[in-house]
Structure 1
Amino acid sequence: MGKMLRVDSHQHFWQLNRGDYHWLNAEPATINRDFLPQDLQPLLRKNAVDYTVIVQAAETVEETDYILELANTHPFVAGVVGWVDMNSPASIKILERLGQHPKLVGIRPVIQGIADPNWMLKPELDTIFKYLIDNDLSFDALVKPIHLDALYILLQRYPELRVVIDHGAKPDIASDGFNPWAEKIQKISEGSHAFCKISGLVTEAGASASYAKLYPYMNHLVSCFGAHRLMWGSDWPVCTLAATYDEWIGYLDTFLKQFSLDEQKSIWGESAVKFYKLGVV
């Protein structure tokens, strides 16, 4: 058996002195510091991870330019999910510029931080959603269970939009919030072509993170999306609030052993390559 491709579909870098990571001020000191490629590379080597996708961690175009520069100089970065202000008339022009970079694969607005849970349905966003479709760029949906009704409508409105749901839509695992999350995520999986990331769950479990606590949520995501629409991601370094990179991969490794080799390959790497259209072999 050849080596199984592993693609970490969701990781971040940040450099505090850049000045655009204001949200980190409210976070514990363990993650309110620089996290750079040299910090991640030993973890990738140790866990046989071949490639990663960097996801924006600041709501500035400058940060997207910064992570695209990191992608230029670090071959393990296969793709970048950036940010533009989708409310701004200038966003199309900015996307045209960013899209010239071969590793820009899509964008992610920070929906979880927007007060209106129906924000994504605003008619003014129609132009940019159509631009993403026409230019084959993907959309990372950073949502919580409160957003799933609106997300379902969005997916019906734009069936050609390539959407991946970050962190399984962040169920409240710490408080045993399985329902109605489970019903709504199932409705989305059955009524759309959306992909989903099996990432970020360990952070949602918080101090009570354990394999037993995570299992029902991971299992439900596989039941809903199947292995071919599910991709793993570390959400490093945010995941370190609840588990190390090694521990989270260990949970996944244990969980995925129950599935066929083909299904394991999909979740570990092939789904991410397919969804993001990553130029890797």
Structure 2
Amino acid sequence: MRVLDTHLHMWDEEVLTYTWLEGPYAYRFAETEVEHDRLDVEREEAVFVQAETTEGDYIGEVRWVQSLAGRLGIAGIVAGAQLHRGIDTVTHLEELATHPLVVGVRHNLQNDPDGLAVSSAFVTGAREVAARGWTFDVCVRAAQLPDIARLAGAVPELRMVLDHLGKPAVGTADAPLAPSAEWVRDIEEVAKHPEAFCKLSGLPAESGGVWSAEQLVPFLDAAADAFGVERLLWGSDWPVSSIGPAEEGDPHAPADGSATYQPHARQRWLDTVVEWAEARGHDVDAILWANGRRFYRLDDPRVESADAPRRGFFGRLFGG
């Protein structure tokens, strides 16, 4: 089995500046930690997605990840960007374009005011992204999905992907929630646009790290019904979706029962999606590999110019 993890984060407060890291997130998750949490597969690559450094560190984050890419099998970078800043946005995108592993950008919208994604300034920035052949990772909360459908209509050439299925309310394993009619309606509206894709990622984090396959499968079904299997990508959302209550038998479990790192969570999410896809008769290789490479254009010659160094670590490990 080959896997392209389309949603991998890393961070290191000794290298870059972040304002949101606290509790179990306030640890280094970088090269050593990635190597210790490899998937049990024959071939593995990943797309790094910006981890909300401060805006002044967006370029520094790209440089840092590029320095690790060859050893970690990172095939592409989704860089941080603010798309509503006019000429400053254009200048930033031009600088990003000098880094060959950059395949897309993410302006994290989930905490921004409603309506920003359809403002004239943001739409102009989104058109600049599309003009460069890049993708746009959409990180929003479920209530913001109507704005994303409108953005897709305003910039139909923009290849966008919903991170974490648009963050629906999923409940927990003990108190599951069914997909809401509003969320289903809204992802169907987004999916009407042929350049819109959806990541099967992030649901464990939305469940607070307490989840079951039975709880989350209805959301996978709804995404498949809306987007079709050919527009679904798998992502681990590591390490965000690997934080929650300590796993049974964890010798390092906090004595106070607080959330901690779950060392088997990434593999468990992969196994859950594979088992769901196989049970439904879906094309597993498409979801785990081919769709992601097509969406992020990882076989584009511009990106392949960095192919030799980025295959180093996993190539030696798996012979890929």
**How far did 1:171 drift?**
0.4
Hey, what does 2:96 align to over in structure 1? 98
Distance 1:8 1:49, change over 3 A: farther
Deviations 1:115-163 (A, max 9, x none): x221111112233222111111111010111111111111111110010
**How far did 1:51 drift?**
0.7
**How far did 1:49 drift?**
4.7
After TM superposition, what 4+ stretches of structure 1 lie above 6 angstroms from structure 2?
Answer: none
Q: Distance in 1 between matches of 2:235 and 2:184?
A: 20
Hey, what does 1:15 align to over in structure 2? 12
Hey, what does 1:238 align to over in structure 2? 240
Q: 5+ unaligned residues in a row in structure 2: which ranges? A: 245-261, 305-319
**How far did 1:192 drift?**
4.1
User: Which region of structure 1 is more displaced relative to structure 2, 244-253 or 233-242?
Assistant: 244-253
* Structure 2 residue corresponding to 1:249, chosen from 270, 282, 304: 270
**How far did 1:34 drift?**
0.5
Q: Distance in 2 between matches of 1:49 and 1:71?
A: 20
Q: Distance in 1 between matches of 2:92 and 2:292?
A: 25
Q: 5+ unaligned residues in a row in structure 1: which ranges? A: none
2:37 alignment partner, SS class: helix
**How far did 1:277 drift?**
0.5
* Structure 1 residue corresponding to 2:289, chosen from 242, 265, 269: 269
Q: Distance in 2 between matches of 1:163 and 1:41?
A: 29
Hey, what does 1:138 align to over in structure 2? 135
**How far did 1:63 drift?**
3.9
1:145-160 to structure 2, matched below 5 A, reads: 145-160=142-157
Name the aligned partner's letter for residue 120 of structure 2: P
1:124-203 to structure 2, matched below 5 A, reads: 124-174=121-171, 176=177, 178-179=179-180, 180-203=182-205
1:59-98 to structure 2, matched below 5 A, reads: 59-75=54-70, 76-88=73-85, 89-98=87-96
Preserved contact between residue 188 and residue 226 of structure 2 (Cα < 8 Å): yes
**How far did 1:107 drift?**
0.8
Name the aligned partner's letter for residue 92 of structure 2: I
Give the fraction of aligned pairs with identical amino acids, expressed as a percent.
26
User: Which region of structure 1 is more displaced relative to structure 2, 157-166 or 78-87?
Assistant: 78-87
Hey, what does 1:32 align to over in structure 2? 26
Name the aligned partner's letter for residue 36 of structure 2: P
**How far did 1:206 drift?**
2.2
User: Which region of structure 1 is more displaced relative to structure 2, 129-138 or 202-211?
Assistant: 202-211
**How far did 1:207 drift?**
4.8
* Structure 2 residue corresponding to 1:54, chosen from 48, 51, 55: 48
Q: Distance in 2 between matches of 1:36 and 1:203?
A: 19
Hey, what does 1:214 align to over in structure 2? 216
Q: Distance in 1 between matches of 2:59 and 2:137?
A: 14
Instruction: Say which one has the larger Rg.
Output: 2
Q: State the TM-score, normalizing by the size of structure 2.
A: 0.80
User: Which region of structure 1 is more displaced relative to structure 2, 40-49 or 248-257?
Assistant: 40-49
- Paired residues in the alignment total 273
**How far did 1:103 drift?**
0.7
Q: Distance in 2 between matches of 1:254 and 1:54?
A: 25
Name the aligned partner's letter for residue 91 of structure 1: T
Preserved contact between residue 56 and residue 64 of structure 1 (Cα < 8 Å): no
* Structure 2 residue corresponding to 1:225, chosen from 227, 236, 242: 227
Distance 1:157 1:256, change over 3 A: same
Distance 1:61 1:44, change over 3 A: farther
Q: Distance in 1 between matches of 2:64 and 2:281?
A: 38
